[in-house]
Each structure stands twice: as structure tokens, then as C-alpha cells.
């Protein structure tokens, strides 16, 4: 079976109406296997004092979704509506984040979960932290690794576990290359991205690529250490 590139497009979600139309796509009926890749963008988003930090955007990418879209939830535009907007069935983003049967793939679980709870009192259920999994998987593969400090660094290291030039290798390489083209100074530039308006589409795509391959990273690491 041909392997399909996990990203087809991306969408900036900046109104409650658009968010309401997206919510049903994020809760595709189980048992169709899928997981939700999730990242946050903002100023010191993991700080315990909400007055000294911000979450400007939540990026989401659902595997198993035929559209293969990464969604950027613009919190500066949406405000509290990001967690109060409902679809026709009454589902909110909170419902999805706290759903015990939808796995969420994150990098840096402490950072993400603390930020969501500090700003919105939302807890993540069934969250899988690839920052913790990758070093273990790499060591089992024979690659010395004690800790990974960035998502892009994690993606780069995990490439060691795939054949050079393979489809998956090309996915991971493109995600890393596009990231560094858009953000040569690293994560600090990503977290400042929503300070600029309008947001440049090529920067959104660079972030979308990285989010889209997070489940790919999990898929490479999980067989090395067993299902959690």
C-alpha cells in the first residue's frame, strides 16, 4: 500500500463558526483508529502565572482524517470561545481534549498540560509524550540519547530509525527543513509568530508540517518500547 503524506493542507480557524464546523472532524467515530497531534504556540505558555504568559494558538492534526489537514486555532481571535463553542451535538474542544478514548500526541506533556490548565482549566486525557518516548526508543535502536529538548530536534533524531531516502525519511526531512527555513532562530520565533498580522502562510505551513509528523514519530517509537 502506498504511504500517503500526512499533510494535505492547513486551515487557520479564527471564528466560532469555523471552529463549530471543524469540531465534528476532530471526533471522527471510533473505532476508526486515529490520534490527535497537539501543540501550543505562545509566550512562555507553560508559566503558572497566566498574567505573564499566553497561548496564542493551538495546532491540531488528526490522523486517519481523509482531508489530512492541520488546524491552527487562533486564540487571539477566538478568545474563550475556543473551549465554549459547540457543534450540533454539543461537543466542545474541551470534550475532545478530555475524551478518554482519543489519544493525543504531544511534545512536552508537562508544558502543554500546565498551559491548558493554567489558562483554561482544561485537562488532557490519554496524552502520549513523544519527548519522553523518543530517547527510550532511540536507545533501544542503538542510538545514544539521554534527552531531547525540542520537537524539531526530536524529529531529526528519530530519522536515525528509518531508512535513508524512504518515504517516511523524506516526510521527516521536509518537516525539519521547512521549519528551519521559516524559523532559523528556533522555537522562540515560532512562539512569536502570532504577534505578526497577517500571518505569513509559509510560516503556517512550516508549523503544520511539524505537527503533522508528530504521530509518525510516535509510530516509529512505539514498536521499540511497546504500547503504552
Residues 20 and 119 in one domain: yes
* CATH assignment of the domain containing 123: 3.30.420.10
Residues 137 and 218 in one domain: yes
Predicted pLDDT of residue 144: 82
Structural domain ending residue among the three candidates 98, 129, 160? 129
Residue 23 covered by a domain: yes
Helices 151-158 and 214-225: crossing angle, nearest 10°? 60
Predicted pLDDT of residue 5: 57
* Parts of the chain with a pLDDT under 50: 1-2, 31, 227-228
Residues 125 and 186 in one domain: no
pLDDT digits (tens, 9 = 90+) for 131-154: 999 999 998 888 887 788 899 999
pTM value is: 0.89
Predicted pLDDT of residue 32: 54
Residues 195 and 215 in one domain: yes
> What's the number of CA atoms in the CB half-sphere (13 Å) around residue 118?
18
Predicted pLDDT of residue 214: 95
pLDDT digits (tens, 9 = 90+) for 2-45: 455 567 789 999 999 999 999 988 876 554 557 899 999 988 66
Domain span holding position 89: 9-129
Residues 85 and 179 in one domain: no
Residue 4 covered by a domain: no
Q: Into how many domains does the chain fold?
A: 2
Residue 2 covered by a domain: no
Predicted pLDDT of residue 182: 92
Residues 92 and 186 in one domain: no
Closest CA to 217 of 139, 174, 156: 156
Residue 1 covered by a domain: no
Predicted pLDDT of residue 199: 85
Amino acid at each position: 500500500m502506498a504511504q500517503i503524506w500526512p499533510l494535505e493542507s492547513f486551515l487557520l480557524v479564527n471564528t466560532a463558526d469555523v471552529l463549530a464546523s471543524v469540531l465534528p472532524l476532530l471526533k471522527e467515530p471510533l473505532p476508526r483508529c486515529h490520534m490527535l497531534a497537539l501543540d501550543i504556540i505562545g509566550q512562555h505558555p507553560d508559566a503558572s502565572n497566566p498574567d505573564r504568559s499566553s497561548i496564542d494558538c493551538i495546532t491540531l492534526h488528526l490522523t486517519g482524517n481523509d482531508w489530512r489537514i492541520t488546524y491552527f486555532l487562533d486564540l487571539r481571535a477566538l478568545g474563550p470561545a475556543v473551549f465554549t463553542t459547540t457543534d450540533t451535538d454539543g461537543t466542545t474542544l474541551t470534550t475532545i481534549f478530555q475524551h478518554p478514548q482519543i489519544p493525543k500526541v504531544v511534545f512536552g506533556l508537562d508544558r502543554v498540560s500546565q498551559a491548558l490548565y493554567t489558562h483554561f482549566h482544561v485537562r488532557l486525557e490519554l496524552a502520549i509524550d513523544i519527548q519522553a518516548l523518543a530517547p527510550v526508543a532511540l536507545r533501544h535502536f542503538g542510538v545514544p540519547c539521554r534527552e531531547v529538548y525540542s520537537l524539531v530536534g526530536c524529529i531529526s533524531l528519530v530519522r536515525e530509525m528509518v531508512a535513508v531516502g524512504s518515504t517516511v525519511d523524506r516526510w521527516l526531512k521536509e518537516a525539519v527543513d521547512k521549519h528551519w527555513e521559516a524559523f532559523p532562530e528556533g522555537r522562540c520565533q515560532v512562539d512569536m509568530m502570532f504577534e505578526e498580522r497577517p500571518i505569513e502562510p509559509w510560516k503556517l505551513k512550516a508549523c503544520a508540517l511539524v505537527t503533522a509528523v508528530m504521530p509518525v514519530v510516535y509510530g516509529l517509537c512505539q514498536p521499540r518500547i511497546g504500547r503504552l
